């Protein structure tokens, strides 16, 4: 079962990777009317939250660049950014490396209990690494849909 879950993670991430590779840098920072964030924020947020839902919830050190939390953490938005965010190419690289790290980290740990339950913004509590990892796939897909909506809005 663990191999099936890891394969699903790779499938979800491959969809994300195909998308990020098609976005031109010059449109990545447009925040269309009706949106709080841009395409760059959504890709960076996917990376940040995946890291949090695999490593941070277990009390492990996250391996993302420190600035990812300030740029892409929950509740952040481009209007508040101070400094220059990572390029799409840099975020792409982080996503590729992250997938490989997770594939090496999670086997045999799906049932590991979290030191404290993780409760998301919807009030859903997770108690094991497997639960948070599986939720991260939903989260990634949700943000991919937002990226598609932003891209469609920009293209029209």
Q: 3-state DSSP call for residue 108? A: coil
Domains and CATH numbers, the chain: 2-155 (1.20.120.450)
Q: Tell me the average pLDDT across 130-152.
A: 96
Sign of CA dihedral 22, 24, 27, 28: positive
Q: 3-state DSSP call for residue 119? A: strand
% of residues, the chain, pLDDT over 70: 100
Q: Tell me the average pLDDT across 88-100.
A: 97
What digits encode the pLDDT tens for the residues 8-49? 999 999 999 999 999 999 999 999 999 999 999 999 999 999
Which pLDDT score, from 0 to 100, does residue 121 have?
A: 87
When pLDDT is cut at 50, 70 and 90, the band that residue 156 belongs to is confident
Which pLDDT score, from 0 to 100, does residue 142 have?
A: 96
When pLDDT is cut at 50, 70 and 90, the band that residue 155 belongs to is confident
Q: Tell me the average pLDDT across 59-75.
A: 95
Give the position of tokens 């991430």. Answer: 13
Sign of CA dihedral 5, 105, 20, 42: positive
Q: Tell me the average pLDDT across 81-87.
A: 96
> Of 127, 130, 125, nearest to 114 (Cα)?
127
Q: Tell me the average pLDDT across 78-82.
A: 95
- CA R_g for the chain: 15
Which pLDDT score, from 0 to 100, does residue 10 have?
A: 94
Distance CA 43, CA 91 (A): 7
């Amino acid at each position: 079962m663990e191999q099936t879950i890891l394969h699903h993670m790779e499938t979800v991430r491959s969809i994300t990777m195909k998308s990020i590779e098609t976005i031109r840098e010059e449109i990545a920072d447009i925040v269309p009317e009706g949106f709080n964030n841009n395409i760059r924020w959504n890709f960076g947020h996917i990376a940040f939250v995946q890291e949090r839902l695999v490593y941070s919830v277990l009390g492990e050190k996250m391996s993302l660049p420190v600035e990812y939390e300030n740029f892409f953490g929950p509740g952040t938005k481009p209007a508040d950014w101070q400094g220059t965010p990572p390029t799409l190419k840099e975020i792409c690289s982080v996503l590729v490396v992250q997938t490989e790290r997770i594939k090496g980290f999670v086997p045999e740990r799906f049932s590991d209990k979290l030191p404290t339950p993780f409760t998301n913004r919807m009030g859903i509590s997770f108690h094991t690494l497997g639960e948070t990892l599986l939720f991260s796939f939903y989260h990634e897909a949700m943000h991919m849909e937002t990226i598609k909506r932003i891209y469609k809005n920009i293209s029209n």
